[in-house]
Structure 1
Amino acid sequence: MILIADSGSSKTDWRVIHSNGKITQFRTVGFNPYYQKEEEMLADLQVADLLELRGKIQEVYFYGAGCTSEKNQETVRRLFNSIFEEARVHVDHDLMAAARATCGHQPGIACILGTGSNSGDYDGENIINSRPSPGYLLGDEGGGAYIGKHFLQDFIYDDMPSHIRKMALQELELSILTIQENVYKKPFPNRYMAGFSKFVATYKSDPYCYSLIYNAFKDFFIRHVTRYENYQNKTVNFVGSIAFYNSDILRKVGLDMNADIQIILETPIAGLTLYHQQKI
């Protein structure tokens, strides 16, 4: 049996390929070794869906946010081997998941627009070039936390239209003190900020909300996609809820930036399952 995981900062999608070809699935919280301690991640892995697979899994393919460095990859391998002692554990970053899910064995530019963001130039087998991904404080252009951060800044400075501010007060019960407490004192401020991207997307027919999303995506293209050599002649593919549920705006930005956007997936897990099925 093969266990496949695609993990972002907010959630993890799991697929199990059984020896008879049957596929089962479940979802848990997200993992990120940049922001979590090893014991915290281990505690989050103690769920029934995983524990009942002990002794049955031969291989684990884990793709995760924060798994770019060898140090973090080794941490994740150690965690999984503590549960699946006999399994071969393969750990790669979420960008490889995006590339394999959308491009398969064909070259293209693979992008992530979820809670955070990332991108890479894929040659059909490997990521041959990528842009820095410094996280939600210094980067993550186009991601949910980036959109939410700009929305919260506009709320704090009263730089949004009055009708949007009124709806935010009614629906979100926002206050400056509440925002500061969640951003500076509570864990996972990136998840908190990303939550407001849902409100923005709900009202994206409003010029203000549309502009927030459009400009965030444009920032992503400027910082990422346009920096790859001959990007105009390569397919550009996306995974992530922010890309998927705002695909109309994303495709408009791509058109304006002379980029050939092809596949946009909410999550890469189905594409990853197909990719690994083909390798059996």
Structure 2
Amino acid sequence: MLLIADSGSTKTDWRLVSDEGQILAIQTDGFNPYYQNAQQIAAVLEAQLLPHLNGALVTDVFYYGTGCTGPSVNHIIADGLQAVLPGLQTIEVNSDMLGAARAAVGHQAGIVCILGTGANACCYDGSEIIRGIQSLGFWLGDEGSGGYLGKTLVRDFFQERLPNELRDDFRLRYALDRATLLENAYQKPFPNRYFASFTPFLSDHLAHPYIDNLVTDAFTLFLTTYVKRFPEAEQWPVHFVGSIAYYFAEPLRQAVKQTGLTMGRINKAPADELVDFYKKR
């Protein structure tokens, strides 16, 4: 059996594909080899993935994940998988960026962006990534991501930049104090997940001009900082993968138009398209 994974920092979408072509969708927590070791990953897999496999013999795993930037960290994911799936014959661990590109455009050329808990972008020639950005992660980058949007919202709340009606709604909804905020930001793991958890407030209030501008400005910053720098941006369409791109599609389209780029497709989660990619291959 074939197991395909599309993993972000918040969640992982799995597709178990039988030899007859039947597909089982499974979801677990997300993984990031910069925050977790192989033993921690294996523990999550054992608790959240294995019960859904029902003893199925998985022989091949194709994993695409955030933080999988090269052999020095990719082996952490591979070791975690091997620990819980000892019958594996093939384990391929690749970046979530390559998975997004293969899912979004298959064997066509295009610029592909991830806008989920994190953010990234690349130029894909239909076979491989030919140009990318040097992602610096949550604290030093990820403009336009769920983590960045949530961080901007929380910062504006504490610095009293939110309009009164939004500030009152935020206070009632989260009852957030400074000590709790700083603990989650600097002491607990996965601060990007924590700040991304505030994005539902943004989507619920997207009709408010302040929120619409906050989101659109974040997307514009992402596009101008990274995508516009690609020489191919003048000719190639720009495709997007991820929950943030999906749920904030309208301000994203506005930002693409304002920056003079060509809008491509928006795909919430690439797992199903990756199944098609491997079927065709």
Q: TM-score range by the shorter chain?
A: over 0.9
Kindly provide the amino acid, as one letter, of the partner of residue 63 in structure 1. Answer: Y
User: Hey, what's the Cα distance between the residues in 2 that align with 1:168 and 1:32?
Assistant: 30
Instruction: Name the counterpart of 1:190.
Output: 192
Is 1:65 paired with 2:62?
no
Instruction: Name the counterpart of 1:235.
Output: 237
- TM-superposed CA distance for 1:37, in Å, is 2.2
SS of 1:272 mapped into structure 2:
helix
1:40-67 Cα deviation digits (max 9, x unpaired):
1111111364364656122100000000
User: Hey, what's the Cα distance between the residues in 1 that align with 2:107 and 2:184?
Assistant: 42
Q: How does 1:191-210 map to 2 (within 5 A)?
A: 191-210=193-212
- TM-superposed CA distance for 1:25, in Å, is 1.0
User: Hey, what's the Cα distance between the residues in 2 that align with 1:160 and 1:91?
Assistant: 42
Asked whether the 8 Å contact 2:118–2:147 carries over to 1, the reply is yes
Asked whether the 8 Å contact 1:106–1:124 carries over to 2, the reply is yes
User: Hey, what's the Cα distance between the residues in 2 that align with 1:255 and 1:56?
Assistant: 48
Q: How does 1:126-275 map to 2 (within 5 A)?
A: 126-275=128-277
Deviates more, 1:106-115 or 1:74-83: 74-83
CA RMSD of aligned residues (A): 1.3
Kindly provide the amino acid, as one letter, of the partner of residue 267 in structure 2. Answer: L
- TM-superposed CA distance for 1:124, in Å, is 0.3
Q: How does 1:93-132 map to 2 (within 5 A)?
A: 93-132=95-134
- TM-superposed CA distance for 1:85, in Å, is 2.7
Asked whether the 8 Å contact 1:54–1:84 carries over to 2, the reply is no
| Equivalent residue pairs, number | 279
Instruction: Name the counterpart of 1:28.
Output: 28
Deviates more, 1:248-257 or 1:55-64: 55-64
Structure 1 runs not aligned, ≥5 long = none
Kindly provide the amino acid, as one letter, of the partner of residue 143 in structure 2. Answer: E
- TM-superposed CA distance for 1:200, in Å, is 1.1
SS of 2:108 mapped into structure 1:
coil
- TM-superposed CA distance for 1:175, in Å, is 1.9
1:152-197 Cα deviation digits (max 9, x unpaired):
1111111111111011011121222221222122221111111112
User: Hey, what's the Cα distance between the residues in 2 that align with 1:58 and 1:90?
Assistant: 12
1:70-107 Cα deviation digits (max 9, x unpaired):
11112222222222233200110100111000010000
Asked whether the 8 Å contact 2:39–2:80 carries over to 1, the reply is no
Percent identity of paired positions between Structure 1 and Structure 2: 38
Deviates more, 1:176-185 or 1:109-118: 176-185
Q: Please give the TM-score of this superposition, normalised by the length of structure 1.
A: 0.96
Asked whether the 8 Å contact 1:147–1:194 carries over to 2, the reply is yes
Kindly provide the amino acid, as one letter, of the partner of residue 58 in structure 1. Answer: T
Moved over 4 A (4+): none
1:96-131 Cα deviation digits (max 9, x unpaired):
111000010000011000001001100001001101
SS of 2:240 mapped into structure 1:
strand
User: Hey, what's the Cα distance between the residues in 2 that align with 1:50 and 1:15?
Assistant: 13
Asked whether the 8 Å contact 1:142–1:219 carries over to 2, the reply is yes
SS of 1:124 mapped into structure 2:
coil
Kindly provide the amino acid, as one letter, of the partner of residue 41 in structure 1. Answer: I
Is 1:37 paired with 2:34?
no
SS of 1:72 mapped into structure 2:
helix
User: Hey, what's the Cα distance between the residues in 2 that align with 1:164 and 1:147?
Assistant: 15
